[in-house]
Structure 1
Amino acid sequence: MNDKVFAKPIKKQFEFDEEVAAVFDDMLSRSVPFYEESQEMTRFFVLKALQNGGIMYDLGCSTASLLISIAKQNPDVTLIGLDNSEAMLEQAGKKAHAFNVDINLLNADILEYDYEKANVFVSNYTLQFIRPLVREELVKKIADALKKEGVFIFSEKVISHHAKLNKDLIEHYYDFKKKQGYSEFEIAQKREALENVLVPYSEEENIKMAKNAGFSHCEVVFRWANFATFIAIK
C-alpha cells in the first residue's frame, strides 16, 4: 500500500499504529534515502557475524524485513525481533508466514527486556525515538549483552551542530522526499507529528555514546546527508 498517512490533517503525535503499519514498508523506501543500500550493508555485516551461528536481536523490528532477509540466507541462526507495536508485529508475522521463515517476534519493551548473550544487535532508526535520558543506558545494556567482538549496527537520522549546514541538510532531505512523490503538505504534517518524538544526535554524539557504553570502536559505514549507519564493535 502507498503511504498517504500525512495527506490529511493530523491531530496527534507520530505513533506506530495500524495506519502506519499498513504502509510502513512504502514509507521507509520513500522516506529514507538509500534505504535498500544501507540495509544491504547491514545484512552483510550481520551475516559475517553469524557465519558460525549465534543470536541476533533486531530492536524495533517493525515489519521484520531485515530479519526475514537474514533468515532466508542463513536459517541456522536464532533471530529475535522486538517491537512494542502490536500492529507492526502483526504485519511482520504475516510476512514471515508468507516467506516461510523461522523468526521470533515479541511484543516487548527494549529498555526492560532480559537479553541473552548475543552476537549481533541491530537497531534501524529506533534509538532516535528513545528519550535521551535513557538512550545511553540502552546502548550500555546492548554492549553488556554482546559477546566479545560482537557487533551493534544502528542507523539514525543525524544532525549537524553547524546551524546553516543543518538547515541545508534538512532542505536537501525535503527535496528528496518531494522527488519520492510527497507533497509539501505531507512533509510539513509529518515534521509536526514527529516534533519532540524523534530526537536525533549528531554523528559525533552517537559515536561518543557507543564508546561511553563500552564499545571499543564505533564508526559510520554509510551516510547520506542527515542519515547514517554506524557499526560498533565490542
Structure 2
Amino acid sequence: MTIETTGRAADQQTAERGTGVSAGQIAVGDDIVATDTRWSFAGDTSQHFDSHVNKSVPLYLHGHELIGKCIEFFSRPGGTVIDVGCSTGTLLASLARKPTSKDLNLVGVDIEADMVRAARGTCAQMDNVTISQGDALTTDYTDANAVIMYYTLQFCPPHQRRNVLRRVCDGLVEGGGLLLFEKVLSPDARLQDIVQQLYMEFKADNGFGAEEIYNKSRSLRSVMAPQPSEETHRLLREVGFTSVVTIQKYLSFEGILAIK
C-alpha cells in the first residue's frame, strides 16, 4: 500500500530540514533538539542544558541557593553529600565553593555519559568533588550525610520510586537529610488546569514559543511522570523518613526536605 505525503506534511519536512531538525525530531528551545516523545539528556543537550532549565523551571537557581544553605545542617567534617542526577555539575560546583563544604566529600552521579563528562569539566578544579556514572537505584548511599535529588526522581519509573527512596533512607546516617525537588501534580483537575496554564505563561514570558512549549511537553510523554505531592510525602514517610516538610513551592514545582 502506498501512502502519499500531504502538502502540509511536505511543508513541515521542508521546514525541519531548513532548521537542522530531522524527521522524528522536534525543537524545544535553546538549540536543543529532542526525539519525539523521547526526551534525552544525552548528546548535545548538556551544552545548552543550564540555560534551558533556568528558563523552564521556576526558582531553579533559587533552589540551588536553598539547598546550599540546607546542606549546612548536615555538613559534618569528613561527611558525604551525594547529588543524584547531577547533570552538568552546576549545583555541586556551587556547593564545593562554600567554605562550609571544604571538609565534605561531594559526590555527583548521573546516568548519562555526556552529562558525566560535562559535570567533570565543571568541577575539574575542585578536589573534594567526584563524578561517576550510575543510576539512583544502584548508587551506594551508605553513611551519606545528605542526598540531593534535584528534579531527578520524576524521571524514574513510578514502580521503582519506592525502592529508590527506601535505598536512600537506609543508606543515610541517622539524622541525615534528603533534599528532593520535583514537578508535582495538583490534587484535583481544576487546580491542575489553572496551574498548568500559569506554567505555560511562565515559559512564554521567558521567551519560549508556543511550538517549543508544546514540543517540550510532547518530548517528555514517555520519560517524565509527575505524581501528586501527597503521594511523594506519603512514600517518604513509609520508607522511613521521620520528618518531611515542603521548603519551596512555585506552581507545580516543589522542594521537600526529609530527615531520617
TM-score range, shorter chain: over 0.9
CA offset at residue 102 of structure 1?
3.1
Please say if 1:68 is aligned against 2:93.
yes
Which AA in structure 2 matches 1:95?
T
Aligned residue for 2:46?
21
- What percent of counterpart residues are identical? 29
Q: In the aligned structure 2, how far is the partner of 1:57 from the partner of 1:114?
A: 9
4+ runs deviating over 4 angstroms: none
How many residues matched?
230
Whether the 8 Å CA contact 1:153–1:230 is kept in 2: the answer is yes
User: Take 2:32 and 2:248, find their aligned partners in 1: how far apart are those partners?
Assistant: 28
In 2: Cα distance, 1:180 partner to 1:101 partner: 36
Assess if the C-alpha contact under 8 Å between 1:96 and 1:102 holds in 2. no
Equivalent residue in structure 2 for 1:168, among 173, 177, 194: 194
Length-normalised TM-score, structure 2: 0.85
Secondary structure at the residue paired with 2:254? strand
* 1:177 aligned partner: 203
1:13 partner letter: R
Task: Using the TM superposition, give the Cα deviation of residue 177 of structure 1 relative to its aligned residue in structure 2, in angstroms.
Answer: 0.4
Match of 1:95 among 122, 145, 151: 122
Residues 12 and 202 of structure 1, relative CA distance in 2, 3 Å threshold: closer
Contact conserved, 1:121 with 1:152, CA < 8 A, in 2? yes
RMSD over aligned Cα atoms: 1.5
Deviation at residue 51 of structure 1 after TM alignment = 4.5
CA distance in structure 2 between the aligned counterparts of 1:209 and 1:100, rounded to whole angstroms: 35
Q: What's the offset of the Cα at 1:10?
A: 4.5
Tell me, what secondary structure is at the counterpart of 1:18?
A: coil
Do structure 1's residue 118 and structure 2's residue 151 form an aligned pair?
Answer: no
Partners of 1:11 and 1:137 in 2: CA distance: 29
Where does the alignment leave 5 or more consecutive residues of structure 1 unmatched?
none
- Change over 3 Å in CA distance of 1:10–1:145 after alignment to 2: closer
Number of the residue aligned with 1:34: 59
Deviation at 1:124, TM superposition (A): 0.4
Amino acid at match of 1:175: E
Partner of 1:84: 111
Q: Is 1:193–2:219 an aligned residue pair?
A: yes
Q: Distance in 2 between matches of 1:100 and 1:211?
A: 35
Q: Which residue of 1 aligns with 2:170?
A: 144
Is residue 14–residue 193 contact of structure 1 (8 Å, CA) maintained in 2?
Answer: yes
1:186-218 per-residue CA deviation (whole Å, 9 max, x = no partner) reads 010010010131111111111001001100011
Gaps of 5+ in 2: 1-28
Q: What TM-score, normalized to structure 1?
A: 0.94
State the alpha-carbon separation in 2 of the partners of residues 168 and 156 from structure 1: 18
1:158 equivalent in alignment to 2:158: no
The 5 Å alignment of 1:187-226 reads 187-226=213-252
Cα offset, 1:12, TM superposition: 5.0
Cα distance per residue 1:128-170 (max 9 Å; x no partner): 0011111011000000001111000010001013101101101
Larger mean Cα displacement after TM superposition, 194-203 or 11-20: 11-20
1:87-113, CA deviations, whole angstroms, 9 ceiling, x for partnerless residues? 11111111112x544311001122112
CA distance in 2, matches of 1:51, 1:112: 25
Report the secondary structure of 2:97's partner residue. helix
Structure ID, larger Rg = 2
| CA spacing shift, 1:169–1:129, aligned 2, 3 Å | same
Q: Which residue of 1 aligns with 2:4?
A: none
